[in-house]
Amino acid sequence: MKITLSSVMVDDQAKAHKFYTEILGFVTKHDVPIGEFRWLTLVAPEGSPDIELLLEPNAHPAAKIFQKALFDDGIPATSFASADVQKEYERLAALGVVFRTKPRQAGPVIIAEFDDTCGNLIQMHQV
């Protein structure tokens, strides 16, 4: 088995799509209307085209509670690899991204966490 799809819950798919593409630099792979929502997946230009991130609507009441609890407790919804977390931090901060933590050493990795504007804390990591 291998991972080909992972999802992150978002409170607004259109806003998430804009943030994840225009700010973070992901590329849209699938954008298919499904009723009031969309099957909206992204890929990383530096990553494998076979690994997609699904911007999943948090429409279920339990999803909203879970998402808020993670955010309030400072637990990242997911983590993205970066070759240079400090450089990516500086680029994103210059674009107005709000960071909860600046780059810091955590054991053998460097991490930083930011608000994705769609209800999630996202971590970057550098091994």
Average pLDDT over the chain, rounded to whole?
A: 97
Which residues are 40's β-sheet partners? 31
Euclidean distance between CA atoms 70 and 34, whole angstroms: 27
Average the pLDDT over 112-120 and give the result.
98
The identity of residue 46, as a single letter, is E
Using one digit for the tens of pLDDT, what is the confidence trace for 54-97? 999 999 999 999 999 999 999 999 999 999 999 999 999 999 99
What CATH number should be reported for the domain holding residue 104?
A: 3.10.180.10
Domain that holds residue 13: 5-126
Q: Please, how many CA atoms are within 13 Å of residue 119, restricted to the half-sphere of its CB?
A: 20
- Helix or strand (DSSP H, E) at 23: none
Euclidean distance between CA atoms 86 and 112, whole angstroms: 9
Give the count of domains, the chain: 1
